[in-house]
Each structure stands twice: as C-alpha cells, then as structure tokens.
Amino acid sequence: GAVVSQHPSRVICKSGTSVKIECRSLDFQATTMFWYRQFPKQSLMLMATSNEGSKATYEQGVEKDKFLINHASLTLSTLTVTSAHPEDSSFYICSALGAGEQYFGPGTRLTVT
C-alpha cells in the first residue's frame, strides 16, 4: 500500500517556540494532503486541507496564522505550529490522498512545556 511518513515522530518544545512537522508521500504523488489533530480520548479533527501549489483551506476555528501549512511539492506538506503553547500539545496526523483513499502518516506527538 501507499506509504506516508511524518517527521519528527515526537517533539518537545518550550512555550513560545515554533515547531515544523513534515508529511511526505513516499511512493506516490499527492496533490492533496490533510492535517488532523487528536487530543486524548477524542476523535481526529480535521484542521486543514493542503493543496499543492495553492493556499491551504482551514476548518472553522483553526487559526491559519498559527498553523502555517506549506505544500510546495507533490510529495511534501509541512505544518508549522507558531508560538506554541501547552494547549497545542496534541497528536498531529497527516494524510495524503491517493487513488481516492487517504493514507495516514504515523503521527507526531507534540508536547509544549
């Protein structure tokens, strides 16, 4: 099956700093990628849809200036959490759309201290 990687798998950062998370489709090209966030014991919530070569589409309530998304190539999308705060601590998961199905990355666990 299609493989999607994420880096880093785990990151701890201090409050006020920025963190970049990479999502790569390894064996297929993805014009569309998605970013989700999952808090403990809650469902995955879609944050934004990332389209190669254009601006991301953010879901209601997600601050686009805080969660910067760049999808500069057909195999890479990045999510930057700017000025991170403890409430941003969560499990961030990306997915890439290929052949009508979403393939998920392994997730990045962000802890902001």
Partner 1 sequence: RKEVEQDPGPFNVPEGATVAFNCTYSNSASQSFFWYRQDCRKEPKLLMSVYSSGNEDGRFTAQLNRASQYISLLIRDSKLSDSATYLCVVTDTGTASKLTFGTGTRLQVTL
Residue numbers at the binding site for partner 1 (CB under 8 A): 32, 34, 41-46, 49, 91, 93, 97, 100-102, 104-107, 109
Q: Rounded to the nearest whole angstrom, what is the least distance from the CB of residue 5 to partner 1 in the complex? A: 11
Q: Rounded to the nearest whole angstrom, what is the least distance from the CB of residue 46 to partner 1 in the complex? A: 6
Q: Rounded to the nearest whole angstrom, what is the least distance from the CB of residue 2 to partner 1 in the complex? A: 11
**Which of 4/81 has CB closer to partner 1?**
4
**Number of Cβ atoms within 10 Å of the Cβ of 82:** 15
Bridge partners (DSSP) listed for residue 77: 23
**Which of 45/76 has CB closer to partner 1?**
45
Q: How far apart are CA 33 and CA 6, in angstroms?
A: 12
Q: Which residues contact residue 77 at a Cβ distance below 8 angstroms, ignoring those fewer than 6 apart?
A: 22, 23, 30, 33, 35, 50, 69, 70, 71, 94, 96
